[in-house]
Chain A
Amino acid sequence: MCDIIWCKKVKEDGTVCNTVNYLDPFNFWNWEGTIACAECGTVYYIHMIQGWMYRGPEEQPPGTKPDILPVYADKPLEGYVRYRPGVEGRTRPYLCLPRDIYLGVPDPRRFSIRGYPVRGWPNQPPSTGIAGSAGFKWEIEKLSPEVWQEFLEKKKKGEVRDW
């Protein structure tokens, strides 16, 4: 379940924007700042507490820089018109990233808590096989040499443990 901003801004050509900007609960559950409409770019101030719209949406003066873009928006009155995640300047990409305990900061992991490498970050190179077939082993030295180097350094420093 998420809240929305239904933008009713009247555009220059006299039509109403009528775009629904979705506020995904993972980012906006406790959130304060400005967000732009994916269609017309009107910036709104919102303050959400525990998933509830405490203040807003309040339209901001033109030229206000938004803190964030919605991840998805659509125009339900016009059939299947929508902005999928990652449309430049309109929606932000959905990176599917885990965050440090709900602080809103992406926290892709390269190492487990004991210091060994984990394949925990996008964008991974494609498989080399046919039809998405993957090799048996993650050849970390070849596919992610920088992580492998970091691992070797960690090992030297004694930051890699058994448990």
Chain B
Amino acid sequence: MLIKQGKKGLDKKFERIPLEDQPGPKSQEEMDEMKMPYEEYCRKVFDVGNEFVKPTALKGIRWLSTTMYIFTPHSVTNLAELGAEVIKIEMPRMGDPMRHTSPFNEAYVYPLHDTRPMTGTGVACFNANVNEYYISMDYHREEIKEAFYTLVRMSDGLTQCYRPGTFDRWKQSYRYLQEINPRFISVWGGGFGYGPKIWGGSYDILGQAHAGLASITGFHEDFGGHPTKSTNWNIDWYSGTQITVAILAALLWRRKTGLGTKIEFSQVQASTRCLEYGVPLYGRFGIVRQRWGNWDTQLCVHGIIICGKSDYPNDKNPQLRDEARYVMVSAFNDPDFKELCNVIKRPDLYEKYKTHKQRVEAEAQVEIYHELEKWAADKSRSEVTRILKDAGLLAMPVYNDKEVYESPHFRQRGTVRWQADPWYGDAVVHSTYSAGLMSKTPRRKFWDLRPVGGDNVKIYHELLGIPLSTIKEWYEKTII
């Protein structure tokens, strides 16, 4: 019989352990779950596409976002996807410059604002500001200061991306805001942070270049390569997520101490975190790490090769017609490498480079990859993938956006899916689930974007209680 010592342990009183405290399933449903195959269990607990019936982890947190572009907005959109109420503050009638930025400075969804019916928003804004309420505010105007401070009093924190000291000059920085709300968490995200380069702005390419990341990305000059930036702004997305981690830690700290925090986040600093062994290597030996492109300095074969034929030879889009020719191949341990050499009919290569230590050397890699590409020269990408997979080796095509969209794996897990944005209509989206599945409090997306100032009445009137006549006056004076 299951027994445990009572609360008054010394009186030697024994009692039954309540059912809910006993290990194991507590209900028929839980019992069924335990008997399920793991795959089926995952599908049931994550229940992709049905996230709206579940609770949110950050419900009750209110955050202000005075951010622009991708880097700092993404730090806040993470909170909004997890259930925080986020108020995005934009410049009146203009909005976040990201709306006008890309791709190719062209607009794809309309309208932007009542005063600009012919102007729209670029789709690059999508996924960076989801689930947020959009208000407009010109901080320079005295009339709006009180509303800003009231929002601070009612909120848990703020993320901003203005140049260091700008919010301080406007009396909106941490040291001013903590006076009116000691629990307030104030985040600055930007290029360099305090230090000799304090005035440097922040761009993704700057993060990639200044942090040393671009210098080890791309092929070496000996192979015709150059330091390369990633085409998309992945350091913006990455650094934004790093800020979210800091915010969540600050929220926990506040729960323990009741006090807010100032978070200062330099983008160029954040991306040094990706430098891997480069910095310690320099510290130990004074050696500067070299670029090694699509190959790997630690493993061979473990890289991307080019095939001779495209999978879409007749497509009008050059990205498909000419570029769908790359395959990632991995066969670095001895039996796999032996099999790979047999497949490409070069068993002598295996004899030459029998140990991994031999084949990971630079000269060996040059020869091995050259032979692999020679073998693939008369084959398409899918042929190469099929042949290698049939031989039990790891090979995957380098996917483009079309193939990511069509991937059944991504579709089943909700990574890529169609969702009707309530304001802008049908859109294929890749946020929320791409940041991980959560069984109890999954991320969710209600909407992607709203027009500039689309929630002015909701926030200024319904939340702050400002009379509609004042709101109208502010609007006419372009204060909001």
Interface residues of A, Cβ cutoff 8 Å to B:
26, 93-99, 101, 109, 111-112, 114, 116-127, 129-134, 136-138, 140, 162-163
Contact = CB atoms under 8 A, between A and B. Distances in A.
B475 A116 contact: no
Contact of A119 (B110, B118, B452, B456): B110
Contact of A126 (B117, B119, B468): B117
Interface stretch (B369-377, B382-390, B422-430): B422-430
Contact of B423 (A93, A125, A129, A134): A134
Given A112-B428, A163-B418, A98 B451 contact: no
Given A122-B117, A163-B411, A131 B472 contact: yes
A30 to B, nearest CB: 14
A90 B411 CA distance: 50
A67 to B, nearest CB: 21
Given A130-B468, A130-B475, A131-B456, 7 more contacts: A119-B423, A120-B425, A130-B457, A131-B460, A132-B453, A138-B425, A162-B418
Contacts of A131: 453, 456-457, 460, 471-472, 474-475, 480
Given A130-B457, A132-B451, A117 B425 contact: yes
Interface residues of B, number: 43
Contacts of B136: 132
Given A97-B106, A131-B456, A122 B118 contact: yes
Nearest to A144: B425
The 6 A-B pairs with the shortest beta carbon distances in the complex, nearest first, are A116-B426, A134-B454, A131-B475, A118-B425, A124-B111, A132-B453
B455 interface: yes
Of B106, B411, B427, most buried by chain A (CB within 10 Å of CB) is: B106
B110 A122 contact: yes
Interface of B: 104-111, 113-115, 117-120, 136, 317, 411, 418, 420, 422-428, 450-458, 460, 468, 471-472, 474-475, 480
Given A112-B426, A129-B457, A101 B317 contact: yes
A109 B114 contact: no
B471 A130 contact: yes
Contacts of B411: 163
A123 B453 contact: no
Q: Is the interface of B mostly helix, strand, loop or mixed?
A: loop
Contacts of A127: 111, 114, 451, 454
Contact of A121 (B106, B110, B119, B460): B110
A109 B460 CA distance: 34
Contacts of B450: 134
B418 A118 contact: no
Contacts of B460: 131
B426 to A, nearest CB: 4
Nearest to A85: B118
B360 to A, nearest CB: 42
Given A93-B118, A126-B114, A138-B425, A119 B109 contact: yes
A31 B455 CA distance: 43
Contacts of B457: 129-131, 133
Given A130-B456, A138-B425, A163-B418, A26 B471 contact: no
Nearest to B405: A163
A121 B455 CA distance: 22
29 contacts: A26-B104, A26-B106, A93-B118, A97-B106, A112-B426, A116-B418, A116-B425, A117-B425, A118-B427, A119-B109, A119-B110, A119-B423, A119-B424, A120-B120, A121-B110, A122-B120, A124-B111, A126-B114, A126-B117, A127-B451, A130-B472, A131-B475, A132-B114, A133-B455, A134-B451, A134-B455, A136-B422, A137-B423, A138-B425
A116 B317 CA distance: 23
A127 B454 CA distance: 9
Nearest to B456: A131
Given A101-B317, A132-B453, A96 B420 contact: no
A117 B426 contact: yes
A38 to B, nearest CB: 19
Of A96, A120, A129, most buried by chain B (CB within 10 Å of CB) is: A96
A70 to B, nearest CB: 16
Nearest to A24: B105
Given A112-B426, A130-B468, A137-B422, A120 B108 contact: yes
Of A94, A125, A127, A132, most buried by chain B (CB within 10 Å of CB) is: A132
Nearest to A86: B118
Given A96-B118, A127-B114, A131-B456, A118 B422 contact: no
Nearest to B100: A96
